[in-house]
């Protein structure tokens, strides 16, 4: 059948299972938007800024495991996607971004709204394409989705000139198997690698599993749990690894890193074996590399060969699909007990409990930590939470225990302020039966709050929790510790968020005390569309513990115990 390039694009998207696109129209992508009128099977979500489209597609992808799709026009439309694409790249999120481009004859002439978006996004995409021949378009779309979802997932961009979208050709969908020269995502470990890993595990007296995002991406949560229970090995989680192991499990010892659980950091520094699974030894996890886990042998399993020995030298590096590798490894692991080691870690955990502020007497202000912990309590810990970046993000990681994969979504690698709210819209649209909370700060929320209109227009039942301390809280915390409390450019003038929500026709509530917490969750649940709750919290709250940049992982600034405050 004779189809335009735009129609061919949409036919191929249907065959990839796409039924949702987040986008914003413009001249260079208009032929595709016009073609969308013929494809009611694909629902288009009109965002208010292209960055929001990318974050929504990213949140959708992380919540569902499917490839998210964002679409924009050329020039500023395409460049507005850049932050969202970079966020997806850093966090291995499967995404296809589709951009319009000026006509082929105008490329390179500095035409109106022309930008070399493939050049701009080359460092932040897994692959990208400029489509110069409409006959290649169906193959390119198939390849783009294949690349985005296989191996280590990531974003792929397809840039399509306007005249390619308009050109008509006879369309026959290519059914042949995709084969890309040089692209063979690894699967299994070699027998000698498994044998060496088994030997190190059997010899270890103080082993720790470091569970990263790769556990969730590969669907290896059951295999991780079996490994931990079979050999009685404690599990520390990365930020993006939350949910990989139930946080109520007796072997789960909390998040590691800069604002991680102190017991996890101390255990890593004292361990004689680290089993790193689907994590990349990010600097926020390791602290000072020169002193990181010096007593420990190291096993590292990752699907991306470039991550092995990149930051931390390891004794056994296995490149492969994590679930496949664990399926090979776990049945051969000898059952073991590490009672003394686990007892030592539990003592550290008890020490942390003594320092906790959640239920400390004499508090006359609402703390962000209390808000997060009460949200966990009153949502029965079963919500999907999507955070922005800052203090509230770390408090969520500390005080909202997750029991299942993909239930905590956040910008980890890039640390993108403005990510949380639009990503929550995408997650909610991908998982309409789940309860989704966007947990955001007053700073980050203002970067993408224009998407309130999108949430209202689509009637997305996302619950927005603004943790409002009238500061850029994490930056202020650094100024308090390291810049002699010079709070420059961190105090925030904020609008009345409740009135702002009401201007969009969104119900809102303000919370100023802890005894309103249960009521606020009931209020949020009583409405069928978006709801905004503003939690007015202590302005100068500090997230403890904290490992200062460049310091040893176990050199933590910690909250004093009750009665020990200076």
In angstroms, rounded to a whole number, what is the distance separating the alpha carbons of residues 369 and 353? 14
Q: How many CB atoms lie within 10 A of CB 190?
A: 12
Catalytic residue from among 38, 41, 112, 195: 112
Phi and psi of 411, rounded to 5°?
Answer: -90, 105
In Å, what is the CA distance from 447 to each residue of 52, 391, 416, 420, 421? 10, 16, 10, 10, 10
3-class secondary-structure state, position 493: coil
Q: Where are the alpha helices (DSSP H) in 278-407?
A: 283-286, 322-329, 339-355, 368-378, 391-399
Q: How far is CA 64 from CA 71, 381, 429, 454, in A?
A: 19, 19, 10, 20
Active site residue: 11, 56, 71, 162, which one?
A: 162
Give dist(CA 246, CA 226) in Å, integer. Answer: 12
Tokens found for residue 208: 């720790």
Distance CA 239, CA 243 (A): 10
State the DSSP H helix or E strand holding residue 218, giving kind and residue range, or none if neither.
helix 213-218
Question: Catalytic: 474?
Answer: yes
Are the C-beta atoms of 517 and 504 separated by less than 8 Å? no
Judge whether 112 counts as a catalytic residue. yes
* Helical spans, DSSP H, in 434-529: 442-448, 452-458, 473-482, 497-503, 517-525
**How many angstroms separate the CA atoms of 8 and 16, rounded?**
12
CA-closest candidate to residue 507, choices 530, 538, 477:
530
240: left (phi over 0), alpha (psi -120 to 50) or beta: alpha
Catalytic residue from among 245, 255, 474, 517 = 474
Helices 50-64, 420-430: axis angle to 10 degrees equals 50
Name the token pair of 147: 């690349």
Q: Strands of 113-258 (E only): list them.
A: 127-130, 155-161, 168-170, 207-211, 235-237, 252-255
Q: What angle do CA 453, 458, 460 make, to 5 degrees?
A: 95
For residue 210, the 8-state DSSP code is E
DSSP string, 232-293: T--EEE-STTTTSS-TTSTTEEEE-STTS-HHHHHHHHH-SEEEEES----HHHHSSGGGTT
Catalytic-role residue among 11, 50, 534, 541: 50
CA 68/CA 60 separation, integer angstroms: 6
**Active site annotation includes 165:** no
Residue 128 DSSP code: E
Does residue 410 contact residue 444 with C-beta atoms inside 8 Å?
Answer: no
Residue with tokens 């999907």: 384
Active site residues: 50, 112-113, 162, 474
């Amino acid at each position: 059948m004779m189809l335009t390039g735009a129609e061919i694009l949409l036919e191929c998207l249907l065959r990839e299972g796409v039924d949702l696109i987040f986008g914003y129209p413009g001249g260079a992508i208009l032929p595709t938007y016009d073609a969308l009128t013929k494809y009611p099977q694909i629902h288009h979500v009109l965002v208010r800024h292209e960055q929001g489209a990318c974050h929504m597609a990213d949140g959708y992808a992380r919540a569902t495991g499917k490839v998210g799709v964002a679409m924009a026009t050329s020039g500023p439309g395409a460049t507005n996607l850049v932050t969202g694409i970079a966020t997806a790249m850093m966090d291995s999120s499967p995404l296809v971004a589709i951009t319009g481009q000026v006509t082929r004859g105008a490329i390179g002439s500095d035409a109106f709204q022309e930008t070399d978006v493939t050049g701009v996004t080359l460092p932040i995409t897994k692959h990208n394409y400029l489509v110069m021949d409409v006959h290649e378009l169906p193959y390119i779309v198939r390849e783009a989705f294949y690349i985005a979802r296989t191996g280590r997932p990531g974003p792929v961009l397809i840039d399509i000139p306007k005249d390619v979208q308009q050109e008509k050709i006879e369309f026959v969908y290519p059914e042949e198997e995709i084969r890309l020269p040089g692209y063979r995502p690894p699967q299994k470990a070699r027998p000698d690698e498994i044998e060496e890993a088994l030997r190190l595990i059997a010899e270890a007296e103080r082993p720790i599993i470091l569970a990263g995002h790769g556990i969730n991406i590969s669907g290896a949560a059951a295999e991780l749990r079996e490994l931990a229970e079979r050999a009685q090995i404690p599990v520390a989680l990365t930020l993006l690894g939350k949910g990989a192991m139930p946080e109520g499990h007796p072997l789960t010892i909390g998040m590691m890193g800069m604002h991680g659980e102190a017991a996890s950091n101390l255990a890593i520094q004292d361990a004689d074996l680290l089993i790193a699974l689907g994590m990349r030894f990010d600097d926020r996890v390791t602290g000072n590399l020169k002193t990181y886990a010096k007593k420990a042998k190291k096993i590292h399993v990752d699907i991306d060969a470039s991550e092995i020995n990149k930051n931390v030298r390891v004794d056994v590096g296995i490149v492969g699909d994590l679930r496949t590798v664990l399926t090979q490894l776990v049945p051969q692991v000898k059952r073991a007990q590490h009672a003394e080691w686990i007892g030592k870690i539990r003592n550290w955990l008890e020490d942390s409990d003594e320092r906790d502020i959640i239920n400390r007497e004499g508090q006359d202000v609402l703390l962000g930590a209390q808000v997060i912990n009460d949200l966990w309590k009153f949502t029965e810990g079963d919500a999907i939470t999507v955070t922005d970046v800052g203090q509230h993000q770390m408090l969520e990681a500390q005080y909202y225990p997750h029991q299942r994969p993909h239930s905590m979504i956040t910008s980890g690698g890039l640390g993108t302020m403005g990510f949380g709210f639009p990503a929550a819209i995408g997650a909610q649209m991908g998982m309409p039966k789940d309860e989704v909370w966007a947990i955001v700060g007053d700073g980050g929320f203002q970067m993408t709050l224009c998407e309130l209109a999108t949430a209202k227009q689509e009637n997305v039942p996302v619950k927005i929790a603004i943790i409002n301390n009238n500061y850029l809280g994490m930056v202020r915390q650094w100024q308090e510790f390291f810049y002699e409390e010079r709070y420059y450019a961190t105090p925030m003038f904020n609008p009345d968020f409740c009135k702002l929500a009401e201007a969009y026709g969104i119900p809102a509530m303000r919370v100023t005390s802890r005894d309103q917490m249960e009521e606020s969750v009931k209020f949020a649940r009583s409405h069928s569309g978006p709801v905004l709750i503003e939690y007015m919290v202590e302005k100068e709250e500090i997230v403890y513990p904290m490992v200062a940049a460049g310091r040893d992982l176990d050199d933590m600034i910690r909250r004093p115990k009750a009665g020990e405050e200076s």
